[in-house]
């Protein structure tokens, strides 16, 4: 029976791959959502799949056997990828284990360093590694390690390290959070009461109990790392499997590449769940509580969800991390909108710069020495472009994150309340298969036919392209968000207070509004922040391959200009300047990447603030020595003193009426001075 399920779920994944690979047919020859052409090309793809003679790859216009051609790039990519993932996970486990024994002040330093490292986009990380190797070689004439593939020479270690960093940081934080949550359990207290050493409890009990949760978390981490594989191969000039995807865009090639990426991860994860995790109910419970603390929260009082949400928002603004992140993101949007409405011209252009004596000192592009943050090749200010483009990048990312969370939550309600368990299980397995498909590749496959300008010009308006891009980037994550919220709801439904509500005759609407919503409100904020960061990273990835927000203008002249964005959004600036570091013009891309990094850090602060507020509600110890808390504490202290003074005055008046005389006033002054 398990083998049948394993094979059936695999077939579901193959069907999804075939449907996605044919999507460019919707936009052939200037059409927009041409379903007839899509069905026709899907039939052709199915016919090609069952006919091995048509399994070909176009190498320099010449058809070659597809499996024979793709096998070497596939082995190369998987060797680098699995090596990086294993390296990251090993370092994460070792780091989390030793961090538990560090003093609090040192742990906070480590957390801040890793939090900053987590905000670094993979593109900037890869560039930084290459630049460091080149800089060190120039200083010492010692080449530490190969930093790019040249000809038949392949590079392994540096791409592995670039892939390992983000999974290492993410897994480290997850393991540490799970250990802290597990450390609050009663069996830990009992073990410590019996005199067991902390290391023994950690190794024998805690790590074993968080194993399944860590396994389920790793699935999402691997999914994110797969999306970075395309960027890593591009930066290090690797002739990998994703490079083959870019060189031949036909559906048969896309299907084979996605299937080759899908298969090993499907075998590892689905095979483990079906054949090794024998206790399916326990596994489902572990999966639903991934990185969630809502199961232990009790909602007090009879307030409605809206009043509870408002009180929750107020509590979060008292957290300095949440407040700081919110201020930076909101301030960036306000400044960008205000600058766009008032600036004239919108983008300053500096063609030639002369000194006071009339001597030419700089020509386009100008370095930051002559213009703040420098200019691009046409003399347009980089600073002005960043300010103008901030509102497009940030607002569009916020809208997509909100749509993902909102649509996912609304669809999770019928999923959790009305769908039969078997249908839920099939849907979950279908969504699980999406974890093994790189989101960047899927987004590129779906967006390029619309956003890349054809030779005859765009046949769609900019509004249509923006709406289509928003829909695609939203729908890519909605199934995952549905299962995430649905599993959270099912977990809360197992609580005793929910069972009591059902016994007392509470309806599903009452149960959702009065009980589930207060528990899910904090979780919604965390998911919103995570989806926003993921959207920004996809912007960066697509920008590297010249897929820009709203469309990419392409020149087809004999001497062609580089592709340009229809707006000044940040991913377009990255795409236009992606090769600038190799030419020494770092100012064309580094400021934009640092702005991305600042927004990602700000959203991470918001997420961390939400988590801290949420953890305090379930008893996980979290330090809160913030200036804001001290301010409120001072106000409360002054208020208590004022109340004491008023009470003293009242006592004095009563005693004056009884005794009278000037001595009473002196006693009153002495009393106030003492207080």
For 610, counting Cβ atoms within 10 Å of its Cβ (0-12 exposed, 13-18 middle, 19+ buried), the class is buried
Residue with tokens 């590694």: 129
Do 301-342+378-623 and 71-248 have the same topology in CATH?
yes
pLDDT at 128: 81
Tokens describing residue 381: 């200010």
Question: Would you say 234 and 184 are in contact if contact means Cβ atoms under 8 Å apart?
Answer: no
In which region does residue 400 sit, left (phi positive, over 0), alpha (psi from -120 to 50) or beta (all else)?
Answer: alpha
Could you tell me if 515 and 498 are in contact, meaning their C-beta atoms sit under 8 angstroms apart? yes
Each residue's pLDDT tens digit, 457-477 = 787 788 888 888 888 888 888
The per-residue pLDDT for range 50-70, each reduced to its tens digit, is: 888 888 888 877 888 888 888
CA distance from start to end of the chain: 79
Question: Residue 216 and residue 549: Cα distance in Å, rounded?
Answer: 33
| Cis amide linkage into residue 365, ω under 30° from 0 | yes
How far apart CA 639 and CA 636 sit, in angstroms, is 5
**pLDDT the model gives residue 584:** 74
Predicted confidence band of residue 501 (pLDDT cuts 50, 70, 90): low
Question: Does the pLDDT value for residue 331 go beyond 80?
Answer: yes
pLDDT at residue 454 tops 60: yes
Is the pLDDT at 618 greater than 80? The verdict is no
| Bridge partner list, 153 | 150
Instruction: Tell me what the pLDDT averaged over the chain comes to.
Output: 76
How far apart are the C-alpha atoms of 480 and 400, rounded to whole Å?
14
154 in the Ramachandran plot: left (φ > 0), alpha (ψ -120 to 50) or beta? beta
pLDDT of residue 176: 81
Per the CB < 8 A criterion, the answer to whether 213 and 181 are in contact is no
Burial label, 120 (beta-carbon count in 10 A; 0-12, 13-18, 19+): buried
The listed range with the strongest mean pLDDT (375-384, 431-440, 521-530, 659-668) is: 375-384
Cα separation, 478 vs 395, in Å, equals 19
pLDDT at site 338: 92
Q: What CA–CA distance (Å, rounded) separates 522 from 501? A: 22
Whole-number Å distance between alpha carbons of 89 and 196: 28
In 289-372, which ranges are continuous DSSP H helix?
305-317, 320-342
Residue 330 has pLDDT above 80, yes or no: yes
Residue pLDDT, tens place only, 192-232 = 777 777 777 777 777 777 777 788 778 778 887 888 888 88
pLDDT tens, position by position, 104-133: 778 778 877 877 777 777 777 888 888 888
- Between the alpha carbon of residue 564 and those of residues 123, 342, 365, 373, 443, the distances in Å are 20, 25, 17, 20, 19
Residue 349 DSSP SS3: strand
pLDDT in tens, 150-187: 767 788 888 888 888 888 888 888 888 777 777 777 77
For residue 360, what is the enclosing H or E element?
A: strand 360-363
Question: Is the pLDDT at 276 greater than 60, yes or no?
Answer: yes
**Alpha helices, DSSP H, located in 343-454:** 382-417, 421-434, 439-451
Helices (H), 418-516: 421-434, 439-451, 462-475, 478-493, 496-503, 508-511
Query: Is it the case that residue 304 has pLDDT exceeding 70?
Result: no
Look at the chain and count its residues. 675
Residue 664 has pLDDT above 80, yes or no: no
Would you state the pLDDT for residue 86?
A: 92
Label residue 503 by pLDDT band (50, 70, 90).
low
Q: Is the pLDDT of residue 426 over 70?
A: yes
Looking at the predicted structure, is the pLDDT value of residue 297 above 80?
no
**Angle at CA of residue 201, ends 198 and 202, nearest 5°:** 85
Sketch the domain layout of the chain as residue ranges: 1-54+249-280, 71-248, 301-342+378-623, 629-674
71-248 has CATH 1.20.1740 classification:
no
Q: Identify whether 131 is preceded by a cis peptide bond (ω within 30 of 0).
A: no
Alpha-carbon span 482 to 527, nearest angstrom: 11
What are the structure tokens assigned to 167, written together? 């999974």
Residue 334, pLDDT above cutoff 80: yes
Picking from 445, 92, 78, the residue whose alpha carbon sits closest to that of residue 268 is 78
In degrees and rounded to multiples of 5, residue 216 shows phi and psi of -65, -35
Place of tokens 């449907």: 19
CATH architecture of 301-342+378-623: Orthogonal Bundle (1.10)
Burial readout 164-200 (b: 16 or more C-beta within 10 A, e: otherwise): bbbbbbbbbbbbbbbbebbbeeeebeebeeeeeeeee
**CB contact set of 204 (below 8 Å; sequence gap of 6+):** none
Instruction: Please report the sign of the dihedral spanned by the C-alpha atoms of residue 475, residue 476, residue 479, residue 480.
Output: negative
Confidence of residue 606 (pLDDT cuts 50, 70, 90): confident
């Amino acid at each position: 029976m398990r083998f049948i399920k394993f094979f059936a779920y695999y077939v579901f994944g193959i069907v999804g791959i075939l449907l996605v690979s044919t999507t460019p047919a919707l936009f052939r020859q200037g059409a927009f959502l041409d379903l007839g052409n899509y069905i026709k090309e899907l039939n052709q793809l199915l016919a090609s799949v069952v006919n091995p003679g048509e399994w070909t790859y176009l190498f320099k216009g010449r058809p070659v056997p597809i499996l024979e051609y793709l096998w070497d790039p596939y082995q190369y990519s998987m060797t680098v990828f699995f090596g990086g993932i294993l390296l990251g996970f090993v370092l994460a486990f070792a780091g989390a284990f030793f961090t538990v024994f560090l003093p609090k002040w040192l742990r906070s330093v480590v957390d801040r360093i890793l939090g900053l490292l987590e905000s670094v986009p993979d593109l900037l990380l890869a560039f930084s590694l290459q630049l460091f190797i080149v800089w060190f070689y120039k200083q010492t004439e010692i080449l530490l390690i190969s930093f790019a593939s040249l000809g038949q020479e392949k590079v392994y270690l540096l791409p592995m390290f670039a892939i390992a960093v983000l999974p290492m940081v993410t897994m480290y934080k997850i393991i540490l959070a799970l250990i802290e949550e597990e450390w609050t359990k009663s069996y830990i207290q009992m073990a410590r009461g019996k005199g067991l050493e902390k290391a023994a409890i950690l190794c024998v009990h805690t790590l074993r109990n968080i194993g399944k949760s860590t396994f389920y978390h790793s699935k999402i981490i691997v999914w994110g790392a797969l999306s970075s594989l395309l960027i890593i191969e591009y930066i290090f000039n690797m002739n990998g499997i994703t490079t083959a995807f870019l060189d031949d865009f036909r559906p048969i090639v896309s299907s084979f590449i996605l299937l080759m990426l899908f298969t090993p991860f499907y075998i590892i994860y689905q095979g483990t769940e079906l054949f090794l995790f024998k206790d399916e109910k326990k596994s489902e419970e572990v999966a639903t509580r991934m990185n969630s603390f809502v199961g232990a929260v009790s909602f007090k009082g009879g307030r409605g969800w809206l009043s509870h949400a408002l009180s929750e928002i107020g509590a979060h603004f008292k957290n300095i991390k949440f407040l700081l992140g919110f201020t930076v993101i909101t301030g960036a949007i306000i400044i960008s909108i205000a600058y766009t409405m008032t600036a004239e011209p919108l983008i300053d252009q500096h063609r030639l710069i002369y000194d006071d004596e009339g001597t030419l000192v700089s020509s386009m592009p100008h370095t930051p020495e002559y213009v703040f943050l420098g200019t691009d090749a046409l003399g347009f200010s980089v600073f002005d472009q960043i300010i103008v483009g901030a509102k497009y990048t940030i607002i569009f990312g916020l809208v997509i994150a909100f749509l993902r969370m909102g649509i996912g939550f609304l669809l999770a309600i019928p999923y959790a309340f009305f769908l039969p368990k078997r249908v839920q299980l099939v849907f979950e397995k279908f969504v699980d298969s999406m974890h093994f498909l790189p989101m960047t590749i899927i987004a590129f496959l779906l967006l390029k036919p619309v956003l890349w300008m054809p030779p005859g010009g765009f046949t769609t308006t900019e509004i249509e392209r923006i709406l289509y891009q928003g829909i695609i980037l939203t729908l890519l994550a909605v199934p995952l968000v549905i299962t995430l919220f649905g599993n959270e709801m099912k977990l809360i439904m197992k609580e005793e207070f929910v069972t009591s509500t059902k016994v007392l005759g509470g309806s599903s609407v009452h149960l959702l509004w009065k009980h589930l919503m207060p528990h899910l409100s904090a979780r919604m904020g965390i998911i919103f922040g995570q989806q926003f960061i993921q959207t920004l990273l996809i912007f960066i990835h697509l920008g590297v391959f010249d897929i820009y927000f709203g469309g990419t203008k392409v020149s087809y002249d004999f001497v062609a200009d580089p592709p340009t964005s229809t707006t000044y959004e940040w991913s377009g600036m990255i795409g236009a300047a992606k090769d600038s570091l190799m030419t020494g013009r770092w100012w064309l891309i580094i400021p934009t990447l640092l702005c991305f990094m600042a927004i990602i850090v700000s959203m991470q602060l918001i997420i961390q603030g939400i988590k801290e507020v949420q953890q305090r509600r379930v008893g996980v110890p979290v330090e809160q020595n913030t200036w804001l808390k001290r301010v409120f504490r001072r106000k409360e202290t002054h208020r208590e003193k004022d109340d004491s003074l008023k009470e003293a005055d009242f006592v004095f008046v009563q005693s004056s009426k009884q005794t009278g005389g000037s001595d009473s006033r002196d006693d009153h002054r002495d009393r106030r001075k003492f207080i």
